[in-house]
Amino acid sequence: MYDVICVGGSTVDVFAKTQYSELIKIMSKKGEEDFLAYPTGSKILVDQLDFTTGGGGTNVAVSLSKQGLKSAYLGCVGKDENAQIILQALDKYGVSTDLVVKKRGQTGYSIILDSIEHDRTILTHKGINNNLRFKDIDTKKLKTKWFFFSSLLDGGFHTQEKLAEFAKKHLIKVAFNPSSYLAEKGSHFLEKLLARTEMLILNKEEAEMIVGKDSIEYLVYKLNKLGPNYVVITNGKQGAYCYHNEYLYYAKTNNIRIVETTGAGDAFASSFLAGMIRRDDIESAMKIATTNAESVIQHHGAKNKLLSYREILSVLKNNPVKVTKKKLSL
């Protein structure tokens, strides 16, 4: 019996850092947007090159395992060297790879470009990630308390819908962390999966893509009406929110030095779920999630500085996270 089976993507990630990028702010119909720019026709020197593994499915599985939960990764990889790199990394962190589906094709690959303000632009090749099919899965092995769904597209998304139906029949809870790829398709496209979701975790921009621009209070309320019992919205430096049973919880971030933000969302989402599984307490889960996400963004790589449960508690003693609670009357 697993605590959580993580269904999502996997990639080999290369982080490229160069001093020759420029951050350009442009006003558009969407408001002010930031663009990362490089000079054309030039050969640009890379100051630092780091290789690691990523993808929402594997990031979450590793984070859960480091926090003492029994996790498995369910996703599609190719029959190539990059697949071996990913599987070896999962084995290293104690994540079960018994459910992994291997097919002909390229394993996912991403190039992460750093910016002056330490945000990032990701060039990602999905490869075979979205080729996961329900018929590929040995359902007899799906013995778990939770599914955690990271974003998959096309056939992979429809497989997650079928897994959500499977979860309903077998009393398995579903946590869902959609990316902008899925969120921009809107609530109608996501309605079947959202109706089966116990815990929805996403950022403010993704929430607005699903239900339209609004205040945090109305965003969590609208999303809750679509099915999720817990609605968690992160908002970068502004902190994070959780809505459950008419109460809104808010976790304030600490003032820390940001190096690179890749994997912060996965760290927060996985740690919130881990906190709820361990303690069944929203305030504790918010503190645990914020602490782990803040650790990740102080280093390069989505997995490099994920904390264990004991490490999180240690950090919280010296750097407490303040969580407030209020009842919403909308």
Q: Where are the domains of the chain?
A: 2-10+54-107+129-327
pLDDT at 7 over 60: yes
pLDDT at 42 over 90: no
pLDDT at 15 over 80: yes
pLDDT at 302 over 50: no
Q: In terms of DSSP bridges, do strands 173-177 and 199-203 run parallel, antiparallel, or are they unpaired?
A: parallel
The span from the CA of 305 to the CA of 298, in Å, is 8
Read off the pLDDT band of 260 (50, 70, 90).
low
* pLDDT value for 258: 64
Given a contact cutoff of 8 angstroms between Cβ atoms, the answer to whether 57 and 10 are in contact is: yes
Residues in Cβ contact with 9 at an 8 Å cutoff, skipping those fewer than 6 apart: 55, 56, 57, 58, 75, 108, 126, 129, 130, 150, 151, 152
CATH topology of domain 2-10+54-107+129-327: UDP-N-acetylmuramoyl-L-alanine:D-glutamate ligase (3.40.1190)
* pLDDT value for 68: 96
pTM to 2 decimal places? 0.91
pLDDT at 81 over 70: yes
Give per-residue pLDDT as tens, 173-212. 999 999 999 999 999 999 999 999 999 999 999 999 999 9
